[in-house]
Structure 1
């Protein structure tokens, strides 16, 4: 059966490249920091920065259960730190999502005047592009 379905699906290794600037007191930043509060989540994100992988592959790489890997992937997806880059097929013919890190630089800022935040974010973005 392994010859009937391609094990290597199409995987988009590109991604957004525009820098993201967040402020510590934003709701979106709370979700982002929360998703990275666990060592396992950070290990998964580090693995995905090396190369795209399925949840099963990531679970093996970071020595955790598939359920735990999927939990952290869900949190990382919600925080826009990873994305689904494509699909692959398992040996049993099941379609599996392939995950990749979002390649855009990310900056979290603390403090600053509300009126100057947009100018500051633009300056950081132009520096990182």
Structure 2
């Protein structure tokens, strides 16, 4: 039987965008702190293949659902990841789908 709610929709990948982080002692520490986490880097790698809900990000990043959710929220705050869509599970629950906000990261050190 077909579902009344769409379970998956095609989500376009972000246009090639560039995020520049200037390491000068201001807010750059927060961004670098987020990137220092191996789990956060695994999440970013998982999202290179395309947007996913946290329930798919967690196994791809080899972590628990709660830990993946925590790191996704931190990546959103650092503006590396953003909600891009809403999908529905087979049970009809809404799932926020996250995708990369940027495809290129430049870290620049200022004296």
TM-score of the superposed pair, with normalisation by structure 1: 0.76
Coordinate RMSD, CA, aligned: 1.9
- For the Cα contact (< 8 Å) 1:28–1:79, is it kept in 2? no
Q: In terms of Rg, which structure is larger?
A: 1
Give the structure with the larger helix fraction.
Answer: 1
Unpaired segments ≥5 residues, structure 1: 113-129
In 2: Cα distance, 1:96 partner to 1:13 partner: 18
1:44-123 aligned within 5 A = 44-112=43-111
Unpaired segments ≥5 residues, structure 2: none
TM-score of the superposed pair, with normalisation by structure 2: 0.87
Deviation of 1:42 (Å)? 0.4
- For the Cα contact (< 8 Å) 2:81–2:98, is it kept in 1? yes
- For the Cα contact (< 8 Å) 1:9–1:89, is it kept in 2? no
In 1: Cα distance, 2:71 partner to 2:43 partner: 8
Deviation of 1:102 (Å)? 1.7
In 2: Cα distance, 1:21 partner to 1:9 partner: 31
Aligned to 1:34: 33
